[in-house]
Structure 1
Amino acid sequence: MPREVLSILVDNHSGVLTRVASLFGRRGFNIDSLTVSATDDPAISRITIVVHDDAKVLEQIIKQTARLEETREIFPLDTAHSLLRELLLVKVEAGEENRSAIREIANIYKAKIIDLSIGSMVMELTGEPEKIDGFLDVLSPYKILEMCRTGITALERGGVHRHA
């Protein structure tokens, strides 16, 4: 099933994220990625949710989320006309024998080395989810000690989104 990215503008107050996430959980919808951030208006937050479901299920998700009192607007993002980004922090085992090879991989992907110790290296990479996946694939021969991905955050290209 294709990846769908939903952008939800909600009132910025306590409990909104819980209400949105529990709606998905109660209906049996699996969330692949969820990010929440402030917007230019302090009264509004943006929730970006990534799901893999068919069009009928997606339509149901949108209708049920739109009914929530705190939801100001919900709309699917056309990924061809949107900017999707994700942040990765990854700690790799890096001794003297493989440190330069790992550094070369980091340079190719434009990852930033943010910590270096005797036995490990921590890198930061921001980019499209496919870039993050590719970076992790190339790093797979090395021992990944820890990693954390933020999940997708996204905006449409061009002017301000006006759907309502």
Structure 2
Amino acid sequence: MTRLLIVHHTTSPTLRELFEAVREGATTDEVEGVEVVTRPALAATAVDVFAADGLILGTPANIGYMSGALKHFFDTIYYPCLEETRRLPYALYVHGNNDTTGAVRAVESIATGLGWERVRRPASVTGAPGKDDLEACWELGATVAATISPG
């Protein structure tokens, strides 16, 4: 069985909706052989990343950047994971009130430095999520799970 790690900073009801949609997609019955593990960004460690076959990151866009919690996650795992996790499939979802551009750019820059491989375009949501936004998050979760599925 492969493992999908979802590292998230869920600080609002809106981010909770996005997180739930991602998790539901990742655990769909259509994808078999994938264990989904979730960790808050402040609790996730390099050991969690080492054990993962794929990764989904979730963050609010705070003042044009990823959350401090997700930045802390990257600060703690970067050097331990730098060589060991190259080519790790990953995806990202971001919520912002006005704009998510800076947060997406920051996460993608770090993921590129780690040598991770983006599986799908980020799900970027501004304002209240609509049906299409929640569907995009569901598809993001399902896509990453299907990518690492042994079946």
The structure richer in helix per residue is 2
- Please tell me the TM-score bracket, short chain as reference: under 0.3
The structure richer in strand per residue is 1
Structure with the bigger RCO (C-alpha within 8 Å, sep 6+) is 2
State the structure with more CA Rg.
1
Task: Provide TM-score, normalisation by structure 1.
Answer: 0.22
Task: Provide TM-score, normalisation by structure 2.
Answer: 0.24
